[in-house]
Amino acid sequence: MCKINNVSVGIKSLDFRKYRGKMAASLTDGREVIVPLSMFPDIKSLSLKKRDEWMILDDQFFTFTHLSNVYSIQDLMGLKSLS
């Protein structure tokens, strides 16, 4: 994978237990982005145990052991393009 142009912040971790029905992403600049799982139906369909099997890729992408999709920091922020 390669980094997204013009993006200087990365993803440190994901948390599905802190807020019910939401995904919290801790960013490298100290912010926390909280998004409803309804924005990611395939992640929402995973059991809580399977949601805990996430991986951060190149600081700006994340995926799960039981999913084939790869998501970006742009997906978390609800942005189509940062360029």
pLDDT tens for residues 14-23?
Answer: 999 999 999 9
pLDDT tens for residues 18-75?
Answer: 999 999 999 999 999 999 999 999 999 999 999 999 999 999 999 999 999 999 998 9
DSSP secondary structure letters along 11-64 = EEEEESSSSTTEEEEEETTS-EEEEEGGG-HHHHTS-HHHHT-EEEETTTEEEE
Write the CATH number of the domain with boundaries 11-77: 3.30.2020
